[in-house]
Amino acid sequence: MDKRIKAALAVVALAAAFGAQAEETGAFYVAGNLGSSYAYDRGLSDRTDVAGGVRGGYEWRSDPWPDGHIDFGVELGYVDLGKASGNDHVYVFNSNNNYIGTFPGRFSLHPSGPTLGGTIRWKFADRWFMYGRAGYMHAKQKLSLYVPELNLSDTHEIHSNAGYTSIGIGYDFTERFSVGFGYDYYFGSGSYHGLDYNSHIGVASGTAQFRF
């Protein structure tokens, strides 16, 4: 056989072997979660709502499935953390952004936004695993205000930076599909008309992941 043909076949064989190994030890995935949020901030009377999100990324396995014990990944996503509301003193400003005063009122917050983070999975028994996630969120807070004394209502969008951490447990039904249950904690800060605020929201939810 011609030496050039032999060399070409060897390159093809190496590429195929490398591709098979890459396929076995890593995978793209899409995932989603749906559950309930709880807002910890003061002044809230209605703290819970439906919350959920979607995400996609790539996961590296320490060994081919199902022998791998520790997997790492990176992911992009989007979350909606639900709405929380309450009664408190509301800061009121006029159209020129001048402070008018503080009045009893009702407010609601509805945060959502894109996320970027990393993941780790540890398989501790057969197909059972624990997972952790952490990363960054660019939060868009929809702030709605109502002041009965002034018959005033208004809505604002506040953009801020936030972080999140997550821990949970799951089960691999197949090499490609798993389900789980976890708790996510989102924390951030921002400002509204020069007034600083902090935000802390927890989400307990069921999750599902499909790898391809």
Look at residue 11 in the predicted model and tell me its pLDDT: 36
Q: Which of 92, 71, 200 is nearest to 150 (CA)?
A: 92
**Cβ proximity of 140 and 114 under 8 Å:** no
Give pLDDT tens digits for 78-95.
999 999 988 877 777 777
186 pLDDT more than 50: yes
Confidence at residue 195, expressed as pLDDT on a 0 to 100 scale: 55
* Contact predicate 66/127, CB 8 Å: yes
Residues 6+ away with beta carbon under 8 Å from 68: 25, 61, 62, 123
**Predicted confidence (pLDDT) at residue 129 exceeds the cutoff of 90:** yes
Q: How confident is the model at residue 52 (pLDDT cuts 50, 70, 90)?
A: very high
Architecture of the CATH domain 27-211:
Beta Barrel (2.40)
Residue 44 confidence (pLDDT): 81
**How would you label 176-196 residue by residue, b for 16+ Cβ within 10 Å and e otherwise?**
eebebebebebebebeeeeee
CB atoms within 10 A of CB 109: 21
Whether the bond between 64 and the residue before it is cis, its omega within 30 degrees of 0, is no
Smallest Cα–Cα separation from 79: which of 164, 15, 181? 164
Alpha carbon of 130 to those of 25, 83, 112, 168, 179: distances in Å?
Answer: 19, 29, 26, 6, 11
**Contact (CB, 8 A) for 51 and 36:** yes
**What does the alpha-carbon distance between residue 156 and residue 192 come to, in Å, rounded to a whole number?**
9
Select the more confidently predicted residue: 165 or 154: 165
Listed residue (126, 198, 113) closest to 157, CA to CA: 113
Query: Where does the pLDDT of residue 148 fall: very low under 50, low under 70, confident under 90, or very high at 90 and above?
Result: confident
DSSP sequence for 168-184: EEEEESSSSEEEEEEEE
**Residue 20's pLDDT band (cuts 50, 70, 90):** very low
State residue 194's pLDDT score.
54
The least confident of 106-115, 153-162, 197-206 is 153-162
CB contact at 8 A, 29 and 209: yes
Record the pTM: 0.78
pLDDT at 196: 57
pLDDT at 35: 97
For 5, list phi and psi in degrees, rounded to 5. Answer: -65, -40
86 Cβ partners below 8 Å, 6+ apart?
43, 44, 45, 46, 106, 107, 108
Tokens of 86: 């309450």
Range name among 3-17, 50-64, 163-177 with the lowest pLDDT average:
3-17
